[in-house]
Amino acid sequence: MSAKPSFSLFVSKSPYDSRNAESAITFCHAAIQSGYVIKQVFFYQSGVQNGSDYLSVNTDEVSVKSRWSELHHTHNVPLYICVTAATRRGILYDDVSKGGKSNLASDFEAVGMSEYFAALHDTSVKGIQF
């Protein structure tokens, strides 16, 4: 029996510079409702800003970080941040901050790019970039 078809998403834009993050979230929900699995969401380049605990939105705006967290909790979708891209953009986590305060949102995990490519090694996983 073949594995259930799944997707690994690659998000490379910051949450408020474009609609990429919102499009990716909408895609995830539609894919899950259609019976697909979201293997992971990997944030790279400016996309790592999606996982910053310092994101602040006005009361009349949608919190993209909250929507990612909801996807994570509701559907158990791993949210991975590229550790190198995050560090370059001032997003610190426990391993790097050396006792300083982490500003990586709790539902996101800092990993290496190999995590993204390992998921694509499975032929049932399709990569899609936002």
Positions marked active-site = 82
Rounded to 5 degrees, φ, ψ at 20 are -55, -45
